[in-house]
Amino acid sequence: MTRDSWPAPDRGAGAAPAGGATPAAAGRRPKVLVFDIDGVRRDKLREADTPHLDALAARGRLGPTLTHDPDVHGAVTSSGPGHSTLLTGVWPDKHLVADNRIDPNALGHYPDVLTRLGGLRPELATFAVGDWPPLIDQIIGSPTVKLLVDYDDGSGPSASSTRRIADWVIQQLVMGDPGLGYVYFLDCDHTAHHFGALSDEYLRAIHEVDAAIGTILEAVRARPGYDDEDWLFLAVTDHGHVDAGGHGGSEPEVRQIWSLVSGGDAPVASGPAGAGVRMVDVAPTVLHHLGVEIDPAWGLDGTAAVPLHPEPADRVTS
């Protein structure tokens, strides 16, 4: 991020209200892309060179939030519980993914947002792509298309999995008409584990993912029907890292994360900004933008964060 510090908390903002379904802006077709960037520490996102995420933030809102509390929700701060929360809209004490083994779980009762959307709006094309097998094979159920890309850091002769994921997404945008795309990148987390969260390698990995996102956004803007589409973009992470690399506990560097929402009903941030969208608000926010009314019987812990009036940053809780 190019900014020197997070925006000051907006102490006049209230909690994000639950949102019912609303029509797309000016009759345009609603579409969503979610970028899930594994293991990006809040302060290091701020430090890294990320012009494309910066541009999204300038047209929306980026702010701090928290992971679940391991002592409260019975799950470590690792990728399995974190991505399950982002995708289902419930905390680990409901989806029951406690660690990276994924099983046992209650994902059949609390499905990921792509699977839920497939049951509600089967005519809407969806895709999921990523380079972490448990996410693609176990957590995400039945989007229209999903692809597991073999992880590669790009240090050898072949292209990195980050680059190959972006190329595949661009192909979906050029050849198809997706309503919801979920795009996952492993490399930042992998790099922090191997080189530490204070390393130059970690900052470079964040920059490279941002560059990949930039190529995807360019493909969105190049779509022939772009002017008739109402795109909502979310960028999120599942946990941070301790300085030496690693996570799983309650350390501030691990639990203090961030989220970004841009486009759709998300207002452009002007002046002081509050906290980011909570992890459990991501799935309801996606559904809201796509015109799906949230059924209380689903038992979601999150609410659609649009119009975006998040809690002040000093009141963020898990």
H or E stretch including 191? helix 187-195
Question: Taking 90 as the threshold, does the pLDDT of residue 318 lie above it?
Answer: no
Q: What is the mean pLDDT of residues 60-77?
A: 95
Domain boundaries, the chain: 25-304
pLDDT of residue 135: 99
Question: Taking 60 as the threshold, does the pLDDT of residue 160 lie above it?
Answer: yes
pLDDT of residue 311: 40
CA distance to 40, 231, 295, per residue, from 264 (Å): 25, 6, 21
pLDDT of residue 1: 59
Question: Taking 80 as the threshold, does the pLDDT of residue 2 lie above it?
Answer: no
As a whole number of angstroms, the distance between CA 269 and CA 271 comes to 7
CATH class of this structure's domain 25-304:
alpha beta
pLDDT of residue 268: 59
HSE-CB at 113 with a 13 A cutoff on CA atoms is 35
SS3 181: strand
Question: Taking 60 as the threshold, does the pLDDT of residue 46 lie above it?
Answer: yes
As a whole number of angstroms, the distance between CA 223 and CA 211 comes to 19
Indicate the burial class of 297 (C-beta count within 10 angstroms; 0-12, 13-18, 19 or more).
exposed
Q: What is the mean pLDDT of residues 211-226?
A: 98
pLDDT of residue 203: 98
Q: Where is pLDDT greater, at 138 or 306?
A: 138
Enter the pTM of the model: 0.90
pLDDT of residue 284: 97
pLDDT of residue 8: 32
Indicate the burial class of 55 (C-beta count within 10 angstroms; 0-12, 13-18, 19 or more).
middle
Question: Taking 50 as the threshold, does the pLDDT of residue 148 lie above it?
Answer: yes
Q: Are 86 and 236 in contact (CB under 8 A)?
A: yes
pLDDT of residue 264: 82
- In tens, the pLDDT along 161-218 reads 999 999 999 999 999 999 999 999 999 999 999 999 999 999 999 999 999 999 999 9
- In tens, the pLDDT along 18-45 reads 334 444 566 899 999 999 999 999 999 9
Q: Where is pLDDT greater, at 316 or 141?
A: 141
